[in-house]
Structure 1
Amino acid sequence: MGTLTRRAGVLTGTAVLAATLAACGGSDADGDGDAVHLTISANAVRDGKNTEEAAWIEDWVIPAFEEEQRAAGVEVDVEFEPSGVDDEQFKTRLALDLQAGSGPDIMTLDGIWVGEFAQAGYLEPLPDTDWEGWTQIPEAVQQLASYEDQLYGIPFGTDGRVLFYNKELFAEAGLPTDDWQPTSWDELLDAAEALSELDGVTPIQLNAGTTMGEATTMQGLLPLLAGAGEAVHDDAAGWTGASDGLVAALQLYADVYGGGLGDPVLQQEAQGRDRSFQKFADDEIGILIEGDYFWRSVLNPDGGTAPMADRDETVGWALIPATAPGQGVEGRDFVSMSGGSVRAVNPASDHAELAYELLTFMNSAEAITAAAEDSARITAREDVNETVLADDPMLSFIADEVLPLTSFRPPLAEYPQVSVLLQGATGAVAAGERTPREAADDYATALEEVVGGAG
């Protein structure tokens, strides 16, 4: 990936901005002559969706930023605009506001929306500043907020996919427990074969089909495609069609489900993903590919959706290997996929410079640490992760070992449709309806109709 860039030419520094506003007697752009008015929007609402984020913005960010600016001689009034709707509904409403030249000064976006919003002119590249946070956010994670090698926002939270495994089942199958790390797909299949000797155990859960939705793409097809040395989209070549890498990834599905190492019926059930979580918690699945959400929110003994009382002793994790060492995307031995959210400045803001100050303030080490106080989760900042994840070896593993080698979905408008096509290809192979080559060709034909041709 090329070096990410930001455009130059925007005032930086609280002191410079304060002096500019003070020279004008403060800002009267809002007509009150007293304070600059800024708004923050996120799909979060107290006691509802993403309640922790809403509470952090209202209780910590707003008063702390207003106090900091007041000390610098700038009167600012920050307002939070909460929301608690479906993500697509939030996205549509936000896009309509931006299209009309209005909308919040600071907005929270799913990273997958960045390219689409940038293409539409709803976002502009960030100013070229020496903000200290960029040295703490790995370049791999900066991809979350980038489009065509330019940064349009600041990533503030992310995740990573790994292989989770049950140490007790591994011990029964004669497999390593504390240090299992396959270095190829063959070694992964070898472990699954060993687990297949255990009664009542599904060796591996590899999400497949459209019923699993985006979980199939993010926890299944895309990591395998990266392991085969390819990305689903390349800025220069376009969308990947019926490539050798796609056929190889689909072949692994055929090996798992055609070889009796996975449960193809589970992939078709309406609640199949939740059932796979429960089966893992009940010691009925040996290996499961998932994100850290599985560890902190599903298996969590305290309030998880499928709590596992002995999680910390029984659950192990390992990196997802490439097909063979050095064969992954960018020559990597191991691969992963990540998602996450991005905060950005509205280019139509009447106070874009002060809004940028608020943006960097919200992503400072102090602010992100405050956001992570109640529940440890992976942030975009390495310095914060070192502190807030110190007592959680699994999340520390994601932050230290996975994020430097991870990849992200292409932030393009066509991606959701492409994702559904990929899900269909995996489902057809898992059900034994199509060979890997046939499913890849079917996908490429449908891709032509969606995006006007594969790369």
Structure 2
Amino acid sequence: MNLQFKGLRLHILVLSLFLLCLIALPACGGSSSNGKTVIRVVYQQFGPPPYYEQQWWTKVKQQVEAANPKIEVQLQPIIADEGSYYTKLALQLRSNNPPDIVREDSFLISSDVTAGYLAPLDDYLKTWPDYSAQWFPSMQKITTFNGKNYGVMNGTDVRAIWYNKDIFQKAGLPTDWQPKTWADILTAAHTIKAKVPNVVPINLYSGIPMDEASTMQGFEMLLYGTKDPLYNYDTNKWIASSKGFQDSLDFVKEVYNPSNLLGPTNDIALSTQAGNTVAQQLLPKGKLAIDIDGSWLPGSWQKGGAAEWPEWQTTLGVAKMPTQNGDAPQSVTLSGGWAYSISARSSHKNEAFDVLKAAYSKDMLAFYDVKASQITPRKDVADVADYKNLPLSDFFTNLVSVTQFRPGFPAYPKISVEVDRAMQNVMQGQSSSDAMNAYYNAVQTIAGSDKVEKRP
């Protein structure tokens, strides 16, 4: 009797699961009850409104469905912070009912490709003349992994030097400042230290707590201005020991030398909140002279931002980050940003790509980039009046044509942590040579000794 009862329960459970699958099938399997093809779009949504991603995709949905009566676009935001979004997105992409179009951090495309989550788009992109003609080559390359393209960027960022013109004037420095070398930056910081008390001369993100901000806004803005990049694409190896790497660590060491501190104190620098402290306190309050940082900072200062500061446009100047010794190409910047990709397991890739093309038309993308204060990856959007009216849009957009980006390989996130560790070690007194040697050993462990090289 007990066995029969258990068998009956199992039968009911199986039947229930089967019926549940039938109910869920229209929404998850690509067809709605009215016979339309369903294209599901997944993206991140977090914090208080306005939600620019949602506004953009709502406009796209209306346009696509009006022009294509047989297509239904379903918008499915994932309500989560950035880290949780990655986790939840991965779960959806490996589920039996994956979405069709997904928002991908360009930083993680290689990992998701390796996991089998994303479809290559090259055959589709060849049929879309706008892509090759209008997307900056750097923005096409950033979504490429192992020779194939897996996404289309909808916005990007760049990095430069912000500086306080009032503090520069007090220090006797030019208010139209454009350093030509690293030495020019350090000289200005030392001058401010000597002549303007009670301000932080320079902020350079450094150390493990600030994670990728330390690597990208800090170290790589230095390293990419030397002759020794992080990765050798000719040999397919990580350059884990080089003069450029050690020189970059020496720059960090000088900024954070406790006997003549140019950077923020450790309670700020070695905090996960350093970025917020810089953008929302030190800069608006006139307590920081030089900040090597991103193009997104004005988002905190605009009306409704976390630290409204209408005076920023007259108080702050921007300068390009110079190469180490002023060698060609004279300046350095790096870009990240987000793209949209098509799931490798989507049942309707052709229709999904048609939806992507509609979302990335000149007018639609201009709407998004203006609303979200993004640097556009599409050249002709830069000529749209609303975009041109964004503060510093010309300065930042011009940097996109020469930008560089992080090596798009699955090992990079772990290697990035070791870069941060080397920076923190020199902040805390270790020599640059010892810190680099420890970094070299760590990269060998992560990538394999056959994927690592030294340069003299």
Report TM bin, short chain.
0.7 to 0.9
Give 1:54's aligned amino acid: Q
Give 1:268's aligned amino acid: L
- 1:293 aligns with 296
CA apart distance, 1:212:
1.9
SS of equivalent to 1:241: strand
Deviations 1:236-255 (A, max 9, x none): 33222122211011011122
| Aligned residue runs from structure 1 range 250-399, under 5 A | 250-258=249-257, 259-265=260-266, 266-277=268-279, 278-294=281-297, 296-300=298-302, 302-326=303-327, 331-387=328-384, 388-399=386-397
- 2:57 aligns with 57
Normalising to structure 1: TM-score of the pair? Answer: 0.85
CA apart distance, 1:33:
6.4
- 1:167 aligns with 165
2:407 maps to 1:410: yes
Give 2:64's aligned amino acid: F
2:77 maps to 1:85: no
- 2:217 aligns with 219
SS of equivalent to 1:211: helix
Matched length? 413
Distance of 1:348 and 1:94 partners within structure 2: 14
Q: Percent identity?
A: 27
Pair 33,111 (structure 1): closer, same or farther in 2 beyond 3 Å: same
Give 1:182's aligned amino acid: P
Cα RMSD between the aligned structures?
Answer: 2.2
Contact 1:377–1:389, Cα closer than 8 Å, also in 2? no
Contact 2:160–2:318, Cα closer than 8 Å, also in 1? yes
- 1:435 aligns with 431
Give 2:381's aligned amino acid: V
Distance of 1:187 and 1:93 partners within structure 2: 46
Distance of 1:376 and 1:368 partners within structure 2: 12
Higher-Rg structure is 2
Distance of 2:367 and 2:315 partners within structure 1: 31
Unaligned runs of 5+ in 2: 1-28
2:185 maps to 1:188: yes
Residue of structure 2 aligned with 1:110, choices 102, 105, 109: 105
- 1:239 aligns with 238
2:248 maps to 1:249: yes
Contact 2:155–2:369, Cα closer than 8 Å, also in 1? no
Deviations 1:49-99 (A, max 9, x none): 8822023213x11111111223xxxx1111111111133333233334433
Normalising to structure 2: TM-score of the pair? Answer: 0.85
- Which structure has greater helix proportion? 2
Give 2:270's aligned amino acid: Q
Deviations 1:243-280 (A, max 9, x none): 22110110111222224322342312453333233112
Give 2:197's aligned amino acid: D
2:32 maps to 1:37: no
Pair 271,92 (structure 1): closer, same or farther in 2 beyond 3 Å: closer
Pair 376,93 (structure 1): closer, same or farther in 2 beyond 3 Å: closer
Give 1:106's aligned amino acid: I
SS of equivalent to 1:281: coil
CA apart distance, 1:378:
1.5
- 2:93 aligns with 98
Contact 2:43–2:103, Cα closer than 8 Å, also in 1? yes
Contact 2:366–2:387, Cα closer than 8 Å, also in 1? no
- 2:8 aligns with none
Contact 2:60–2:359, Cα closer than 8 Å, also in 1? yes
Contact 1:133–1:364, Cα closer than 8 Å, also in 2? no
CA apart distance, 1:119:
2.2
